[in-house]
A and B are shown apart, each in its own frame.
Chain A
Amino acid sequence: DSGVTQTPKHLITATGQRVTLRCSPRSGDLSVYWYQQSLDQGLQFLIQYYNGEERAKGNILERFSAQQFPDLHSELNLSSLELGDSALYFCASSLGLYQETQYFGPGTRLLVL
């Protein structure tokens, strides 16, 4: 158990819908990262937050957004869902901002039908 929690574990929805994925980092960790794992694109970095502020963006679609709240939990919002958004979404956390080992949550498996 990494100490990072993610809810829900599984999510099935329809195209065009909007979903919210939730992540709680390890106790004391200030950085939260979101990654997408899909069959065709592998593991890809989406976005990083540090202490409530966005720090880096990867290949995150405009239909996707995220935020980190004052209690340091984070949410990833996916809207206007498409079949291709079906994937495993991981949240990871690390202690600080620089060169810190990232610990991953169990992931949320999203299926868009």
Chain B
Amino acid sequence: AQTVTQSQPEMSVQEAETVTLSCTYDTSESNYYLFWYKQPPSRQMILVIRQEAYKQQNATENRFSVNFQKAAKSFSLKISDSQLGDTAMYFCAFMKHPPGPETSGSRLTFGEGTQLTVNP
């Protein structure tokens, strides 16, 4: 079974600064997908970024980028030029590729989350 660990329960950053959220995972799979989702106070789950494990290039989406270290099983999220609207709980998630037998399917396995607060 896969496990995802986010060791930082809470973080804070000043507006316009850069912050990095950590995520590590444990798997015996060689092919998989990794995701970062954010959950603002509205509780909506919003996709931030996705990384395919077979790709060496780190994914980027505007101010959001990842540092994917496959050998270290590390997948950190960097947020540049932090904005007040970035205040949210951030979840790291793992998906096996291809999906496993019927008992595992295409499920997402989530970490515990990191609460990020952006201060003005």
Tell me the complex Cα distance, A81–B56, Å: 47
List B residues 35-69 near A (Cβ within 8 Å). Answer: 35, 37, 42-47, 50
Interfacial chain B residues near A42, Cβ < 8 Å: 110, 112-113
The answer to whether A3 has its CB under 8 Å from any CB of chain B is: no
**Chain A interface, DSSP helix/strand/loop, else mixed:** strand
* Total interface residues in chain B, CB < 8 Å: 26
Cβ of B103 and Cβ of A98 under 8 Å apart? no
Q: How large is the interface on A (under 10, 10 to 19, 20 to 34, 35 or more residues)?
A: 20 to 34
Residues of A within 8 A of B (CB): 2, 31, 33, 35, 42-45, 48, 55-58, 88, 90, 92, 94, 97-104, 106-107, 109
Q: Which 10 A-B pairs have the closest CB atoms?
A: A56-B105, A104-B45, A45-B107, A43-B110, A48-B105, A99-B97, A55-B105, A106-B44, A42-B112, A98-B98
Given contacts A42-B113, A106-B44, 20 further A-B contacts (CB under 8 A): A31-B106, A33-B106, A35-B108, A42-B112, A45-B108, A56-B104, A56-B106, A57-B103, A57-B105, A98-B99, A98-B106, A99-B95, A99-B98, A99-B99, A99-B106, A100-B106, A101-B35, A102-B106, A102-B108, A104-B46
